[in-house]
Amino acid sequence: MIKAGIIGSTGYAGAELVRLLLNHPDSEIVWYGSRSYVDEPYADVYGNFFELVDAKCLDDDLDALAERADVIFTATPQGFCASKVSAELLAKTKVIDLSADFRIKDPARYEEWYGIRHGAPELLPEAVYGLTELHRDEVASARLIANPGCFPTCSILTVAPLLENGLIDPDTVIIDAKSGTSGAGRGAKVPNLFCEVNETVKAYGVTVHRHTPEIEDQLSLAASRPILVQFTPHLIPMNRGICVTAYASLKDGVSEHDVRSAYEAAYRDEPFVRVLPEGRIPETRYVRGSNYADVNFRIDPRTKRVVMMGVIDNVVKGAAGQAVQNMNVMFGIPETTGLAGIPMPF
């Protein structure tokens, strides 16, 4: 039984971790961390867990937690994990960080995009970027996982196979993403109020969104050369889901068959990535509540571009589900354990 502690358990990603781990046959939660709700019953914060969770919220004492837990999930704001994690801590327990602190290998690049100094640059080399499909082997032996961002997860899974196979021009990649509002977090801010989000759509972070360098780093790996990406997220009036529509120019001579083969080769053995049949367009509702990523594409013979499409549930595959997937790999149990939830289409 894997003993898991969650720091930041009352945020949306944290609450989803609880939902998933309660259904996980080989794991138990030993610490519900939440600085804002210390000593309050966890089920008072999320009434769905009434009669399912008796525990009260605890603070964020990682050292105490490290004594009790086999793995710590940090679902916390940027900077927290890097300021608390250490080689000493990692000697006692594994850490899966759902924040961005260890996603970008270059601390200068991190500081440029996030505007804060990195608290533990010495650990960056060992941290593994936990997009399981791309880095499974390293995940298996990691002590410190940088769990990918929601937009990067969906973007990379959607675009990487075509870059890896050299089918598209790396300088033409444009990613237009749409996200449900849980992605904005549970902070009490006016722009996240119901009446400010409902019945409207807007872009945000245009040209400067912090997930850009993370996407670029991973797509550069896929392309085997540095690339820049145009990334624009949009806020959508729904709770969950990310929909990525990505554009790139096809290299000369690339056929429909080439593209489909690239996707199928990449994901044939992946339990959580579904390459949809020709003509089926991914919809976020068809992955809701599940760890699936659905991808597909369409070639435009007029413009010689490929339109790549992918969807995930931002809270599951884009956060908590992927974190559990990584935990499974790290502890050597079947990767799909506890993640068999079937998408809820409505």
Q: Please answer whether residues 229 and 175 qualify as being in contact, where contact means their C-beta atoms are separated by less than 8 angstroms.
A: yes
Residue 113 touches a copy of itself, criterion: CB under 8 A = no
d(CA 279, CA 133): 24
Nearer Cβ to a copy of itself (101/294): 294
Stretch that binds a copy of itself, among 55-63, 223-231, 251-259, 317-325 (CB under 8 A): 223-231
| 273-292 positions binding a copy of itself, by CB under 8 A | 274, 276, 280-290
> Hey, what amino acid is at 287?
V
d(CA 169, CA 185): 35
DSSP code at position 67: H
DSSP code at position 316: I
Stretch that binds a copy of itself, among 11-19, 61-69, 91-99, 320-328 (CB under 8 A): 11-19
Residue 238 touches a copy of itself, criterion: CB under 8 A = yes
The H or E element that residue 246 is part of is strand 242-249
Residue 93 touches a copy of itself, criterion: CB under 8 A = no
End-to-end CA distance of the chain: give it in Å, rounded.
Answer: 34
Q: Name which of 119, 122, 23 is nearest 74 in CA terms.
A: 119
Structure tokens at 78: 């940027």
Residue 210 touches a copy of itself, criterion: CB under 8 A = no
Q: Which of 63, 193, 264, 278 binds a copy of itself (CB under 8 A)?
A: 193
Q: Which of 67, 188, 257, 268 binds a copy of itself (CB under 8 A)?
A: 188
Q: How many CB atoms are located within 10 Å of the residue 337 CB?
A: 18
The H or E element that residue 88 is part of is helix 87-92
| 63-92 positions binding a copy of itself, by CB under 8 A | none
Residue 47 touches a copy of itself, criterion: CB under 8 A = yes
Nearer Cβ to a copy of itself (77/121): 77
Q: What is the number of residues in the chain?
A: 346
Q: Name which of 151, 8, 184 is nearest 80 in CA terms.
A: 8
Active site residues: 150
**Minimum separation from the CB atom of position 297 to a copy of itself (A):** 9
Kindly give, in sequence order, each residue whose CB lies less than 8 Å from that of residue 301, ignoring residues fewer than 6 positions away: none
With contacts defined by CB under 8 A, how many residues of the chain interact with a copy of itself? 83
Stretch that binds a copy of itself, among 56-64, 129-137, 150-158, 338-346 (CB under 8 A): 338-346
Structure tokens at 163: 């870059």
Site string for a copy of itself, 138-177 (x = CB under 8 A): ------------------------------------x-x-
Stretch that binds a copy of itself, among 71-79, 94-102, 135-143, 233-241 (CB under 8 A): 233-241
